[in-house]
A = this chain, B = another copy of it.
Amino acid sequence: MFDFQYYTPTKVVFGKNTESRVAELIKEFGGTKVLIHYGGGSVVRSGLLQRVTDCLDAAGISFVTLGGAVPNPHLGLVYEGIELCKKEGVDFLLGVGGGSAIDSAKAIGYGVANEGDVWDFYDYKRKATGCLPLGVILTIAATGSEMSDSSVITKEEGLVKRGYSSDYCRPKFAIMNPELTMTLPDYQTACGCTDIMMHTMERYFTNGGNMDITDALAEGLLRTVKDNALILCKDPKNYEARAEVMWAGSLAHNGLTGCGNDGGDWMTHKLEHELGGLYDVAHGAGLAAIWGSWARYVYKDCLPRFKKFAINVMGVEDKGTDEEIALRGIEAMEDFYRSINMPTNLRELGIEATDEDLVLMAKKCAIGVGGEMGSAKVLNEEAMLAIYRASM
């Protein structure tokens, strides 16, 4: 068991029609001039943006808006947001949407609160010393960015995708109304469920320190998302299932499911980041496409955890050798992915990569992690390439 710090200051306001409380919450956290940052047109088409601006108007809170955050949000828009905030004297950010809008808002917040180029933080050149306060209205359950300390931004030049984490960017409040996620296409819902489970699985498959209670919480969360993802495949408008998944998304990535361990493995995420950078795939689907190949490559080096996962999460019977049980757990997970229409390899993801592409991705991935990384098993560039090849 490792020492740990746990810090989740975000005030979560969860339930139907909670977006109507947005002005009250902005005031509670001291916002007087707001940048509303959102993604594509769905926030506009659904009428959510109008409801939010009406609410701010009624409360006398002045605001500007900036749309256009895309999946794998771009640095260019972040720069644009920073300029807009400085010009307009914005003192509070409101991200409306999924992880893209929230991550983009976090980067804008760093850029406003710190001198110099905001990309420096994502490029590991220096550390932020603050972030403009931020609230969110979540419309997609997936990245957990609504409570997390992390954000991921893509630099268009060279399609470099990098994450930066600090407590400064944890949102002050998160408004979560499961009804807002109901218009999401089924594929995106399944991608979200995959991402949520993966945030906890990355923390679960480690060789460095574990706590019984963290494992128990992680396993309970994973079973819950698995069960409710299957419900949503058949009944996408099921409010209760939407709520289970939405709340799980926050808990999966706010730090709770990693307390006491070494911080997790995270190589599936790193391998997927290169996919996301090159092919602009949906993050969750990319994770599903990689995970099985990663798991088969590393499980022997992390056997007790893979066995425990198989039994406690996937419901595999405790019979046979540890390796057999672990492998049945991996197969069961891949069966689950298929049952929610997620890919289990790159071809199913729609990527026809040449071996040259795979070599390039492995090279970029290795550079991105500083040579080698992993807890279930430490992976170098050669290992990364082997996993990419196995995932074709």
State the A residues within 8 Å of B (CB).
1-9, 11-16, 18, 211-213, 216-217, 219-221, 223-224, 227-228, 239-240, 243-244, 247-248, 251, 256, 259-260
Contacts and interface: CB of A to CB of B under 8 A. Distances in A.
Contact of A1 (B2, B224, B240): B240
A4 B211 CA distance: 28
A289 to B, nearest CB: 26
Contact of A11 (B7, B12, B212, B216): B7
Contacts of A8: 8-9
A11 B18 CA distance: 26
Contacts of A217: 217, 220-221, 251
Nearest to A21: B5
Nearest to A214: B247
Contacts of A212: 224, 227-228, 244
Q: 3 closest A-B pairs (Cβ-Cβ)?
A: A3-B15, A216-B220, A9-B9
A259 B13 CA distance: 11
A211 B12 contact: no
Given A1-B240, A6-B14, A9-B9, 5 more contacts: A6-B11, A6-B12, A212-B224, A213-B221, A217-B220
Contacts of A6: 11-12, 14
A182 to B, nearest CB: 15
Contacts of A247: 211, 213, 259-260
A172 to B, nearest CB: 10
A304 B47 CA distance: 40
22 contacts: A1-B239, A1-B243, A3-B14, A5-B13, A7-B11, A7-B12, A8-B9, A9-B11, A14-B259, A211-B243, A211-B244, A212-B227, A213-B221, A213-B224, A213-B244, A213-B247, A216-B224, A217-B220, A217-B221, A217-B251, A220-B220, A247-B260
Contacts of A18: 3
Contact of A15 (B2, B213, B223, B228): B2
Contacts of A220: 213, 216-217, 219-220
A211 B245 CA distance: 10
A11 B15 contact: no
A239 to B, nearest CB: 8
Given A213-B244, A220-B216, A247-B260, A5 B12 contact: yes
A159 to B, nearest CB: 36
Contacts of A13: 5
Contacts of A248: 213
Contacts of A4: 12, 14-15
A309 B144 CA distance: 30
Contacts of A224: 212-213, 216
Contacts of A244: 211-213
Contacts of A3: 14-16, 18
Nearest to A239: B1
Nearest to A9: B9
Nearest to A16: B3
A213 B243 CA distance: 10
A291 to B, nearest CB: 22
A15 to B, nearest CB: 3
Contacts of A211: 240, 243-244, 247
A11 B251 CA distance: 16
Contacts of A216: 219-221, 223-224
